[in-house]
Structure 1
Amino acid sequence: MSTYSRFFLAATLAGALLFQGGCAPKPVSPYAGGGTGTADSTSGNRMGNITEEMGPGTDGGNGGVEGLDSTGRGGSGSLGSDADSKSDAYKREHGRCSPEFKPIYFDYDQSKIKGEQIPIMEQNGTYLRNNPSARVLIEGNTDYRGTNEYNIALGERRAEAAKRYLREFGIEESRMRTVSYGEERPLFTGSSEDDYAHNRRDDFILE
C-alpha cells in the first residue's frame, strides 16, 4: 500500500472516530428525550390529576364545595347551586332564609327567643337597619309533634316573637310580615332530636 493510500485510510478512520464521538452525547440525554417522548405521557398524567382535583370543586363533590361552602357563601355563583343549598350542612346553618339572614331556633313547645339566638337576631336586625328599603317575611315553623292547629299557632307565636324583637331593635313594623307554616314545611323529615331541633325555627325571607 502506498504512503498516500495509508494516509487516506488513516484520515478516514480518524474522521469516523470523530463523527462517532460527536454523536455519542445524543443517546446520553434522557432528560431531553423525556421532554418529547415519555414526558407527553407524564404530562398527560399530570393534567389528569389536575382534572381530578378540580373536578369535585366544580361538579358538586366533597373536595372544593365543602371547603368553600362551609360558610354558606361559595367563592362563585356556581357554588351556591341548588345541589349545594339542599345539602344537610347548608340547611342546618341557613334554613330557608335569604342569604342576607340566618334562622333562629327554639326549644320544644317554646316561642321565647333564647339568649344564644340573640346575636343572630342582632345580625338580622343590623342588615335591615343598614338597608332601610328592605322588607322581611318571618316564617314560623315547628316540628310535627302536636296537632296541626296547635303547631300553626305555635309557629305564629315564634314569628311574632322575632318581629317584636326587631321592632324593639328599631325596625319599622311596616317592613315586616309574619306567616306560620307550623309543621307543614319541615326542613328535615326524620324523627331524631336533631331533626326536630332544626325544624323548630324562624326563617327570614327578603321581600
Structure 2
Amino acid sequence: MNTFSRFFLAATLTGTLLFLGGCGPKPVSPYAGGSGTASDSMNGNRMGNITEEMGPGTEGLDSMGRGGAGSLAGDADSQSDAYKREHGRCSPEFKPIYFDYDQSSIKGDQIPAMEHNGSYLRNNPSAHVLIEGNTDNRGTNEYNIALGERRAVAAKRYLTEFGIEESRIRTVSYGEERPLFTGSSEDDYAHNRRDDFILE
C-alpha cells in the first residue's frame, strides 16, 4: 500500500467512526399527552404489550386517538404540573381516579370522581369512554401491565354497576409506560398510579 492509500483508508475509518458515534441511543422524553391510538385487535394490530378490551371502533378519533370533543391538544395549560395533578390525561369531561401502591380497588375518596364520570356518561347516552390503567414504575413491566389492567377493569365494573352499558366502555393498560411525572418522589408515584378516562 502506498502512502496515499493508507491515508485515505485512515481518513475513511476515522470519518465512519465519528459518524457512527453520533448515532447512539437518544434519550426519549416521557409520554406527554394524548392517549395514543387504541389498537384494533380485530385487524391484528397490537402495540407492544399493551392490552385492551375492545368495544366500538376507533373511527372519529383525532390524530392523538382522542374523541374530537374531548381533545386536550389545544389547551395551553394542559402541560402544567398543577393541571396534570388535577386532571391526569383525562378528557375535560372526566376526572381521574388514583390508587394505593400495588392496589387495584377503588378507594372511598375516589368515589366522587367515579360518580362524576358515571353521571356524565348517564347524561350523554351516546358517549363512549376508554379507561386507561396506569402504574408507577416500581415492579416489572409485565406485572405493571397486569396491575394497570386490573385498575381499568375495576373502574369499568364500577361504571357498569352505576348503570352504564358495558358496550360503551373500553379498557387499556399502559402499566408504567406512560408516566405523568418522571420523578421518584412519593407524590410523583401517587399521581402515576391512576386511571384516566378518555371520551371517544
- Correspondence for 2:186: 193
Percent pairwise identity: 90
Q: How many residues are treated as equivalent by the alignment?
A: 128
For 1:14-163, list aligned pairs within 5 A. Answer: 81-163=74-156
Tell me if 1:175 matches 2:168. yes
SS in structure 2 at match of 1:132: coil
Q: 1: distance between equivalents of 2:74 and 2:164?
A: 31
Q: 1: distance between equivalents of 2:124 and 2:76?
A: 29
Picking from 135, 151, 157, the partner of 1:164 is 157
Kindly report the root-mean-square deviation, in angstroms, between the aligned alpha carbons of the 2 structures. Answer: 1.0
Q: Which runs of 5+ in 2 are unaligned?
A: 1-72
Larger radius of gyration between Structure 1 and Structure 2: 1
Tell me if 1:203 matches 2:192. no
Q: 2: distance between equivalents of 1:114 and 1:156?
A: 17
1:84 Cα offset (Å)? 1.0
> What is the TM-score of this pair, normalised by structure 2?
0.63
Q: 1: distance between equivalents of 2:92 and 2:76?
A: 16
1:83 Cα offset (Å)? 3.4
Q: Which runs of 5+ in 1 are unaligned?
A: 1-79
Q: 2: distance between equivalents of 1:82 and 1:102?
A: 16
> What is the TM-score of this pair, normalised by structure 1?
0.61
**Amino acid in structure 1 at the alignment position of 2:107:** K
Q: 1: distance between equivalents of 2:74 and 2:156?
A: 30
Which gives a bigger RCO, structure 1 or 2 (Cα 8 Å, sep 6+)? 2
SS in structure 2 at match of 1:151: helix
